[in-house]
Amino acid sequence: MPDITVAKQVRVFIDMRASFFLLSFLLIFLLACRNNNTTEAIPTGPVNITLDLNLLDNQHLLVPGNFAYAEGGVKGVLIIHDYDDTWYAFERTCAWQPLNACSQLWVDTQAIQIKCGKYSANQFQACCESRFMFNGLPLKGPANASIARYNISRSGNLLYIYN
């Protein structure tokens, strides 16, 4: 009988070691295969903007699906009145390599998306292939994080963007 008990203990010990090595292997595998498209911290700057939607220059924002660019933040502020009547204010710095000089956000009105790049001689030059929905969530990489948001609120026809 003692041999059966020792055999069971040895089998349990071997099973535990095998489980440990299997879990260790899986953890190493998952870490090795992790997406290397890490996202740097998106810088934001001080923002305190008030837009009067009664003014002719801002009236287009009353219609869902429209947007505007404003001064402030680090590379500017993108204000979007989304099709679901939600308002967003974003830092115009791409979530992928935000410190790159090329890394600025622009609205692609044909694709109804936000893209990353710069304009030179009236030609858009993509900085990366990142694309974002109007709510700031990534659609296409290499960016795998949302765009940095600023607070936005509306009171009557005044729109407040702040941090």
pLDDT single digits (tens) 82-133: 999 999 999 999 999 999 988 999 999 999 999 999 988 889 999 999 999 9
Overall domain count for the chain: 2
Digit-coded pLDDT (tens) for 51-78: 999 999 999 999 999 999 999 999 999 9
Question: Residue 11: phi, psi to the nearest 5?
Answer: -65, -45
Task: Verify that 57 and 116 share a domain, yes or no.
Answer: yes
CA dist., res. 143 & res. 150, Å (int):
19
Percent of the chain with pLDDT over 90: 67
23 lies in some domain: yes
Give residue 15's domain range. 1-34
39 found inside a domain: no
Q: Are residues 96 and 144 in the same domain?
A: yes
Q: Are residues 141 and 70 in the same domain?
A: yes
* CATH number for the domain that contains residue 73: 2.102.10.10
Do 64 and 11 sit in the same domain of this protein? Answer: no
